[in-house]
Structure formats: C-alpha cells, structure tokens
Amino acid sequence: MLVVIPAILGKTPLEQVRSLLKDGRFVDGRLSAGTRARQVKHNEELQSTATQMERLNSIVMGALVQHPLYQAAAMPVRVATPFYARYTPGMRYGDHVDDPVMGPPGGQYRSDISTTVFLNEPESYEGGELVIQTGFGEQSFKQAAGDAIIYPSSSLHHVAEVTRGERLVAVTWTQSMVRDPARREILYQLYQAREGLLKNHPGETETTRVDHAYVNLTRLWAEL
C-alpha cells in the first residue's frame, strides 16, 4: 500500500527546514549504506551538529508522527531518526530494497514502512522521481514540498537521476505494530470506512459495528 499524506509540513516549517539544511554539512550517502545499497547509492546526507539535527527532527518528525493519516496507515510502534538527503545533478539511487533491520545495537528496529518527506518544490529540480515497483507495475512520485509518502520497505524502489537543481528529502523508517502489509491495508480501509461513518452517520448501528470491528481487528493483529 502506497499512501501519500499531503502537506504534513506547511510553508513556515518548510522554510525553517530548508534554512537549517542550507547551513548544514552534507557527506557522501554511501557512508550510511549497507553492502548492496552502497553499489547503487549516489547522494549526500546531512551530518550536522546535534542541536541542528534536533531542531530539524522536531519539526519534521513532530509533524509526521502526529499526523492522523500516518498513524492510521503506518500504525507505528518504533520510528527511526530520519536522514536528510540531497541529490544534485548526476546523483541517483539505483534499484534496491531497504535494509530489514536498522538502528544501533540496543536500539534496533525492523523496517516495515519507508517514508519520504519531500522538502522542496518539484519545479525546482528535474528528474529525482521516487519510483516504486508494485504488483500493478511501476509508480512514480514527485510530490509537492511538504508531502510525505509511505510504502512497504520490502518493495524494490529507486530514485531517478537528478538532471537539474537539487532534490531535498527526509527519509525515515517505521516498525509497524502490524507487520504484514496486506493486513495493514485491510485495517486502513476499515479505518477510512469508520471515519466516514463516524462523521456522517454517528448514531447508527452500522457505525458502531464497523467501529467495533476496526478496534477488535487491531487488537487481534497488533504486536508490540
């Protein structure tokens, strides 16, 4: 399931993020890559002071993690500290699957869901699409600044070469309380039905039944 969560960051936070990134120090992204990814990864990642990172993370992750659609679609139990990546002309990230287990010893988590938050406007660079293989073929994403996309970390994906301008994104991973992507999708569909019913038919028996089914199916499938 691919879900675009529109406008998690508004104009002012985006400006703050971009100004923090402008002053930051970027290093070769291969330093943080696994063996396989190192062969196809060609980008740069922010390596800033702890204070700058904290400010960035509180803006970006604060907005993402509190978003109701992210909560409903990802059902997070652990969320990683993000990377801030920059792609300038000639940079790309070839086809790969994200590492299954990430994080430092003692703080490891399973990556069930990958998230990309787009930090600059799509018109300001050429190329740089996030291309994800799905059961229905390839899907390509180049979202507005402030949008987030979540997709299963198990899917093969790449970032197309940037040919003009620069692409700025934050990327992070989530361990979900529902490990199976098919189950997460069912829960998300039921969540959407329940939200609609609670809004439009709050007092009806069907609403209560769908609400109960959603809550109890979550209880059945959630692992903490």
Cβ nearer to Ni ion, comparing 5 with 197: 5
Cβ nearer to Ni ion, comparing 28 with 211: 28
* Position with the least CB separation from Ni ion: 98
Which residue in this structure is represented by tokens 């104009």?
11
Member of 98, 112, 129, 147 binding Ni ion (CB under 5 A):
98
Q: Shortest distance, CB of residue 17 to Ni ion, whole angstroms?
A: 20
Cβ nearer to Ni ion, comparing 115 with 207: 115
Q: Shortest distance, CB of residue 98 to Ni ion, whole angstroms?
A: 4
Alpha-carbon gap, residue 112 to 154, rounded angstroms: 7
Structure tokens at 94: 């070839």
Segment (H or E) for 175: strand 167-176
Segment contacting Ni ion (CB under 5 A): 83-91, 97-105, 140-148, 176-184?
A: 97-105
Alpha-carbon gap, residue 25 to 19, rounded angstroms: 12
The conformational region for residue 165 under phi > 0 = left, psi -120 to 50 = alpha, else beta, is left
The 10 Å Cβ neighbour count of residue 200 is: 9
Q: Shortest distance, CB of residue 18 to Ni ion, whole angstroms?
A: 22
Q: Shortest distance, CB of residue 96 to Ni ion, whole angstroms?
A: 6
Q: Shortest distance, CB of residue 80 to Ni ion, whole angstroms?
A: 12
Segment contacting Ni ion (CB under 5 A): 2-10, 93-101, 160-168, 177-185?
A: 93-101
Alpha-carbon gap, residue 179 to 224, rounded angstroms: 10
Note the Cα 109 to chain centre separation in Å: 15
Residues that bind Ni ion (CB under 5 A): 98
